[in-house]
Chains A and B, each alone.
Chain A
């Protein structure tokens, strides 16, 4: 390199390395496990689980919300505090992140609703289908 400012390049290089390290630590390439795969996860470990919210399983108990996440083979019970942002939709996919306790219940601190790649208006009417729980 000749004259010119070098620090932006160095900074970007450091940020890139940092990003790759954090992505590795955050399991980017295996972003979530399926409910079936959680059986191999020891209690107390932090895990991200993805599945479909079982319709009818969403229950509010005071400050907590419980629901079941399924991959068609196995269910995982998820428990979260009501203040966590995001909207759960029954029958739609979600990815939750938290700690598995000894009884196989996932105490989630992050709940992310996935949505699929289809874009359609709600059947018959202006309002979007309000299957949301929160």
Chain B
């Protein structure tokens, strides 16, 4: 990390460090999850999708939390940088939510017998996806950063709804295993170890994605072309608008 214009910013070596840490932790998690952890009594080997599904869901929630913080900070300070933080985190969160749903559908087809069910967990997760897809689409449509910040703040209300949907209403999806009020999660120690490794890895992957995307957005905002091109080509037609026309 270093200061650019008085603000903290990540360097390429920071990103590499996070990337390597994510890869290492991810490799460890997958090895333990796919080979060391035993099969499940009820589900057999297909439960191993948990090592992708749960980490994706968790990091999606985390990303949307970052969107919440960035949105609040933008509303308070008006600093465009917070808008870019919110954008990067919203995009990553959206992708992770999509991964959660797709992996969940495969898992559901294998264990429940159906690709989809209109139960509260699945429907609320789909709403979460649509909420932040809408957020992105609104940005494309030219909605102001201020409105987007309100959207990013309000949208986070969906996260506890998704998480507690299996407790508040009858559902097909089972209740949480790790985030339970009981002292010990009802999970075999090796399975839990693998899951925690994968959760750590996914968090680092999310961090890496946030800061990589942020770097790209910062470069765009600074007027330089994204990426380290030796030749700088500026076309007048599709080029950036000058500050005078930006709102």
> Chain A: which residue is nearest B43 at the CB level?
A115
A13 to chain B, nearest CB (A): 7
Taking the complex as formed, is B181 at the interface, i.e. its CB lies under 8 A from any CB of chain A?
A: no
The residue of chain A having its C-beta at the shortest distance from the C-beta of B143 within the complex is A1
Question: Which residues of chain A from 12 to 55 have any CB-CB distance to chain B below 8 Å in the complex?
Answer: 12-13, 15-16, 19-20, 22-23, 26-32, 50
CB pair A119–B112 under 8 Å, yes or no, is no
Complex Cα spacing A89 to B138, Å: 46
Q: Which residues of A are at the interface with B, using a C-beta cutoff of 8 A?
A: 1-6, 8-9, 11-13, 15-16, 19-20, 22-23, 26-32, 50, 84-87, 89, 92, 95, 110-123, 126, 128-129
Alpha-carbon distance A23/B119, docked complex (angstroms) = 8
Q: Provide the residues of chain A in CB contact with B138, threshold 8 Å.
A: 9
Tell me if B187 counts as interface (CB < 8 A to partner A): yes
From 79 to 124 in chain B, residues with beta carbon under 8 angstroms from any chain A beta carbon are: 109, 111-114, 117-120, 123
B183-215 residues at the A interface, CB under 8 angstroms = 186-188, 191
Q: Given known contacts A8-B140, A113-B111, A120-B186, is B130 in contact with A128 (CB within 8 Å)?
A: no
Q: A86 and B114 in contact (CB under 8 A), knowing A12-B133, A30-B170, A118-B177?
A: yes
Q: Is the CB of A15 within 8 A of B141?
A: no
A-B contact pairs, 22 of them (CB 8 A): A1-B142, A8-B140, A9-B137, A9-B143, A12-B133, A16-B127, A16-B134, A19-B127, A28-B123, A31-B119, A31-B172, A92-B42, A110-B114, A112-B112, A112-B172, A113-B112, A116-B175, A119-B47, A119-B191, A128-B39, A128-B42, A128-B43
Taking CB atoms, residues of chain A closer than 8 Å to B188 are 119-121
Which of chain B's residues 8-59 have a Cβ closer than 8 Å to chain A? 38-45, 47, 50
What's the dominant secondary structure at chain B's contact region? loop
Residue with the highest number of chain A CB atoms closer than 10 Å, among B50, B169, B172, B187: B172
| Cβ–Cβ < 8 Å partners of B247 in chain A | 2
- Distance of A30 Cα from B118 Cα, bound (Å): 10
Task: Check: B176 CB closer than 8 A to any chain A CB.
Answer: yes
Instruction: Determine whether the beta carbon of A121 is less than 8 Å from that of B40.
Output: yes
Specify which chain A residues have a CB less than 8 angstroms from the CB of B133 in the assembled complex. 12
* B186 lies within 8 A of A118 (CB): yes
Given A9-B143, A31-B120, A121-B41, 15 more pairs with CB closer than 8 A: A1-B142, A5-B140, A9-B134, A16-B127, A16-B134, A28-B169, A30-B170, A31-B172, A89-B42, A112-B114, A118-B42, A120-B188, A121-B38, A128-B43, A129-B42
- In the complex, the answer to whether A119 meets B141 with C-beta atoms within 8 Å is no
In the complex, A95 Cα to B169 Cα: how many Å? 14
Minimum distance in angstroms from A11 CB to a CB of chain B: 8
Number of interface residues of B (CB under 8 A): 46
- Is A128 touching B177 in the complex (CB atoms < 8 A)? no
Chain B residue with the shortest CB-CB distance to A23: B123
Q: Is B118 a contact partner of A95 (Cβ separation < 8 A)?
A: no
Q: How far is the CA of A4 from the CA of B247 in the complex (A)?
A: 14
Q: Which residues of A contact B119 (CB under 8 A)?
A: 28, 31
- Decide: A119 near B50, CB < 8 A? Known: A2-B142, A23-B123: yes
User: A residues within 8 A CB of B38?
Assistant: 121
* Cross-interface CB contact of B111 among A32, A115, A123, cutoff 8 Å: A115
When distances are taken between beta carbons in the complex, the residues of chain A under 8 Å from B175 are 116-117
